Amino acid sequence: MTLQRQFESALADAFGKVLGEKTDASVVAAADLRFGDYQSNAAMALAKSRRTNPRELAGKVIEALDLGGLGTADIAGPGFINIRVAPETYARHTAELLADERLGVPAIGDGRTVVIDFSAPNVAKPMFVGHIRSTILGDALSRIARFLGFHVIADNHIGDWGTQFGMILYGWKTQLDEAALAEDPVNELVRIYRAINAATKDDPAVRESCKAELVKLQAGDEENLAIWNRCVELSKQGLQKIYDRLDIRFDHWLGESFYNDRLGPLVEEFIEKGLARESEGAICVFASGELPDEQDPFRIQNKEGWQDNPAIIRKADGGFLYATTDLATVEYRVDEWKADEIWYVVGVPQQLHFRQIFDASRRWGKDAGFRHIAFGSILGEDRKVLKTRSGDNVQLADVLDEAVERAGQVIAEKNPDLENAGEIAEIVGIGAVKFAELSQHRLTDYVFAWDRMLALQGDTAPYLQYSYVRIRSIFRKLEGGFDPASAKLSLHEDAEVHLARLLARYGETVPVLLDDHRPNLLANYLLELARAFHSFFEACPVLKAEPEVRDSRLALCELTSRVLEHGLGLLGIRCPERM
């Protein structure tokens, strides 16, 4: 059990004795080490509701408090209860964590099934930097949820059926370069897409031809279906290369096309059940009237007052849309996969869309714990959102290449004799890109800048990886064996105690990451841990210390390297042995 939970339990008992009834007493890591290791504001909160003096209440609680020798408690200010943990407690706790393969992290998921929808690029287009957020965030959340005991289904809902296929089909038939296709399929698809896209702008005839190709495809024309199939396969192979580099795997790739057959019947079902009706030629889902207007995602207010803001599920021309596919997808995930929760890792602009989908799904009887895990936009230098459609967008593959290139330069400079330099540059460079994304609050918009995303010093993945590397280096130079399982720890130096203090907090940090789906809290924790380690490393020699001190410090090093490697692993970032 984490120290935090032990203190909460002891404090709850003490409050129970004093107040004569069961209460919860939350304990958090102290804001400032001068106040102790942990603090509780429970006395102030409880005194308020009971109209008693908080300091007095805190005093009685401290008298009744039994910390079992883990530490000492005192009162401060208006009624804070501060807990100071004894170094021996940290020493013992560190030894316990070394024997625990979960590193102190409780499994809170309880086997519940959660479907995570992330990345979802369009086929026949490369991934741009804009895709980085959903892809990396979604993967990290998948790893975290899995470790916390959820049954995770990672689903890549690729855009394999959009209207862009009209242009691609027409381009394929009129100007495909077979040699270029063999060389670099995705690039060739992009080339014809762009060429036709440009042509449609000033030639209505081309536009009509594209539309005709799309209609033929949707009607099941064999030739067009075969071309479409080929395009999707080639695109998937291209995407897989990037996912391999990013070390990302999906359990399913059920794209839009997978739900095609369901769309027509779904719309009919919605009409039959009175969930949707015709309006201006289109079939729309409107407000239920069950909610007050201000809570209803299908109603928004404007000059004329409350107005319907429907989700269109069938166009006037009979075509289906984004909302239709998303509803079919919900149905499949709830009925076939028995999803208890569905998380959508999609940008914040689509908030309204998801509120409508979630509400419509519930009224339809397809209920799950829906979560739109929104994130902010990546902006260009002009502070405008990077548009996927504009041609000057930066490709994700180029960002990765540049990151690895820069990491390679640093290695050549600092450690020219390093073996496997190429492989390590890949681990470091890609780690840097991932960490730049994950260390930030997900809702923050940011301007894309090479130097910022590819920084290798300061609060970055390489900083964390470097602390791991320093530890591995110690163990390589260690003569004779060391058995972490039988290590006896005694902590004397401030740097030792502080390192142990942070190691104890890993199990307190990981479970809260999913409260609001924020991996950046883990990034913050890991940076703090690595800072503590680097300070320790400078202040406390390990190999040259007396045998008992040495073993104690080796135990700290061992646990630190395990937590760093594990924590980075939850973010999808690997650790090299040397760098």
Partner RNA sequence: GCGCCCGUAGCUCAGUUGGAUAGAGCACCCGCCUUCUAAGCGGAUGGUCGCUGGUUCGAAUCCAGCCGGGCGCGCCA
**Which residues from 195-234 bind RNA, rule CB under 7 A?**
none
- Give the one residue of 338, 452, 488, 492 binding RNA; rule: CB under 7 A: 452
Q: How far apart are CA 355 and CA 370, in angstroms?
A: 9
521 binds RNA (CB under 7 A): yes
Span of 16-24, 74-82, 123-131, 206-214 interacting with RNA by CB under 7 A: 74-82
- Give the one residue of 150, 370, 463, 506 binding RNA; rule: CB under 7 A: 463
Q: How far apart are CA 58 and CA 25, in angstroms?
A: 12
Site for RNA in 312-331 (CB under 7 A): 312, 315-317, 319-322, 325
Angle made by CA atoms 355, 378, 301, in degrees to the nearest 5: 35
Q: How far apart are CA 279 and CA 316, in angstroms?
A: 9
Q: How far is the CB of 169 from RNA (least distance, A)?
A: 16
- Give the one residue of 55, 146, 535, 565 binding RNA; rule: CB under 7 A: 535
- Give the one residue of 182, 292, 383, 480 binding RNA; rule: CB under 7 A: 383
62 binds RNA (CB under 7 A): no
Q: How far is the CB of 82 from RNA (least distance, A)?
A: 5
For RNA, give the closer residue by CB, 229 or 444.
444
Q: How far is the CB of 388 from RNA (least distance, A)?
A: 9
- Give the one residue of 5, 77, 110, 369 binding RNA; rule: CB under 7 A: 77
- Give the one residue of 94, 122, 209, 235 binding RNA; rule: CB under 7 A: 122
- Give the one residue of 174, 175, 457, 490 binding RNA; rule: CB under 7 A: 457
- Give the one residue of 264, 265, 281, 369 binding RNA; rule: CB under 7 A: 281
369 binds RNA (CB under 7 A): no
- Give the one residue of 22, 414, 419, 480 binding RNA; rule: CB under 7 A: 414
Site for RNA in 82-121 (CB under 7 A): 82
Span of 100-108, 170-178, 197-205, 442-450 interacting with RNA by CB under 7 A: 442-450
245 binds RNA (CB under 7 A): no
Q: How far is the CB of 357 from RNA (least distance, A)?
A: 11
Alpha helix locations (H) across 115-157?
132-147
- Hey, what's the torsion of the CAs at 121, 125, 129, 132, to 10 degrees? 20
- Give the one residue of 353, 494, 565, 569 binding RNA; rule: CB under 7 A: 353
The Cβ-side half-sphere exposure at 372, using a 13 Å CA radius, reads 19
- Give the one residue of 17, 19, 23, 76 binding RNA; rule: CB under 7 A: 76
Span of 14-22, 143-151, 536-544, 559-567 interacting with RNA by CB under 7 A: 536-544
Q: What are the backbone dihedrals phi and psi of residue 343, each rounded to the nearest 5 degrees, phi first?
A: -110, 130
Which residues have a Cβ under 8 Å from the Cβ of 140 and sit 6 or more positions away? Answer: 434, 438, 519, 570, 571, 572
Nearest to 523 by CA among 559, 572, 455, 578: 572
Which residues have a Cβ under 8 Å from the Cβ of 237 and sit 6 or more positions away? Answer: 185
Number of residues that bind RNA (CB under 7 A): 110
Span of 142-150, 158-166, 215-223, 328-336 interacting with RNA by CB under 7 A: 158-166
- Give the one residue of 263, 357, 424, 526 binding RNA; rule: CB under 7 A: 424
Q: Amino acid identity of 187?
A: N
Give the three-class secondary structure for 381. coil
In this structure, the strands spanning 378-379 and 446-447 are: parallel
Q: How far is CA 258 from CA 261, 328, 337, 494, in A?
A: 8, 10, 15, 59
Site for RNA in 539-558 (CB under 7 A): 539-544
- Give the one residue of 59, 470, 484, 511 binding RNA; rule: CB under 7 A: 470
Q: How far apart are CA 547 and CA 294, in angstroms?
A: 69
Q: Are 103 and 529 in contact (CB under 8 A)?
A: no
Rg of the chain on CA atoms, in Å: 28
Kindly list the strands in the beta sheet with 341-345, ordered across the sheet, starting from the edge strand earlier in the chain. Answer: 151-155, 113-117, 341-345, 369-373
Q: Are 136 and 246 in contact (CB under 8 A)?
A: yes
Q: How far apart are CA 535 and CA 537, in angstroms?
A: 5
72 binds RNA (CB under 7 A): no
Q: How far is the CB of 273 from RNA (least distance, A)?
A: 19
Site for RNA in 9-48 (CB under 7 A): 26, 28-32, 34-36, 39, 41, 44-45, 48
